[in-house]
Amino acid sequence: MEKRRLGNTDLHLTELSFGAAGIGNLYRPVSRDDAMATLETAWQAGMRYFDTAPLYGQGLSERRVGDFLQGKPRHDFVLSTKVGRLLKPITDGTVPDNGFVDALPFSITYDYSYEGIMRSWEDSLTRLGLTSVDILFVHDLESGGFPRGAYQAHLDTFCTSGIRALQELKSAGRIGAFGLGVNEVSACINVLERVTLDCLLMAGRYSMLDRAAAGALMGLCQDSGTAMIVGGVFNSGILATGAKPGATFNYAPATPEIIAKVERMEATAERHGVTLANAALHFPLRNRVVASVLIGTAKPTSLKRNLDQFENAVPEALWPEMDKIALGA
């Protein structure tokens, strides 16, 4: 599998990479055997960049990813996790519901300070059972996840305090890059206007259907040398399943307008001899700012299906037509 350099860093990521939220029991329980089989499928296919986070299963995903990678030569893979949330043991027996089934018994505290980020990094290494990670993403530092007023306080804390932790870790060679892992374009712009980042992990906002990140944010990335890793290329399902009854767009039922766009995209893809999912996987990689496309799954069969799709080339003549549909032309 081909690799791309991550912005101005010394890291190189495979064009397709593994997102480990699913194996942290996102929405459904996943056995350890199935998690390991999915990771092994990714490895055998040549995927060498893996992304996880403390949030995923409240530590479960990090434990599983770490267990799998402990047997691999350290220089053979790139690993990222996230900071901004600290896990604390549950004392009252009530495990919070963060969308992960049978999550580990930890509560979550947000902390974007210097001390909080350092603690988060150290705790992640312990859960992973590894001595290093390559990339740290500041997780979910965006307005939609906090009550009014709290977001600005967290943003100020990170930009005046937490950023120093990431800079120090990189200067000391403990990490190779740092960035922001969010879903909101405005959150990326708010941070990039105040501090320099190596990369962004952007979910769902730079897809064949949703071009929210293609304007001002992409311009900022190009000007600053900030790379982008793209997740959510299927927009939670509809660009994989097509415009079928019950199709979801960004984790909600697709609207009639979205259904109509995807129907046109399906017909266009078919006319060019490719599938909708194949085109969706290839779309972000047309832009050299994008270093990798992150695929999140907990099933070896679905991962293999996506990998098989990706092997098929997409004709250049397809893209202008898809652009017109996405932009409403």
Q: Which residues are catalytic?
A: 51, 56, 82
17: enclosing H helix or E strand: strand 16-19
Q: Which amino acid is at 52?
A: T
CA R_g for the chain = 19
CA distances (Å), 22 to each of 140, 244, 292, 293, in order? Answer: 17, 23, 18, 16
Residue 294, number of CB atoms within 10 A of its CB:
25
Pairing of strands 85-89, 106-110: antiparallel
Residue 254 DSSP code: P
DSSP letters for 29-63: ---HHHHHHHHHHHHHTT--EEE--TTTTTTHHHH
**Pairwise CA distance, residues 59 & 65, whole Å:** 10
Q: Which amino acid is at 282?
A: H
CA distances (Å), 95 to each of 26, 82, 119, 262, in order? Answer: 15, 21, 22, 39
Q: Token pair for residue 157? A: 């804390």
CA distances (Å), 80 to each of 48, 121, 228, in order? Answer: 11, 11, 14
The answer for 83, left when phi > 0, alpha when psi is -120 to 50, beta otherwise, is beta
Q: Torsion over CA of 186, 182, 201 and 21, rounded to 10 degrees?
A: -160
- Which residue from 287, 239, 214 is spatially nearest to 15, judged by alpha carbons? 287
Residue 137 contacts residue 180 (beta carbons within 8 Å): yes
**Which residue shows structure tokens 């893809």?**
269
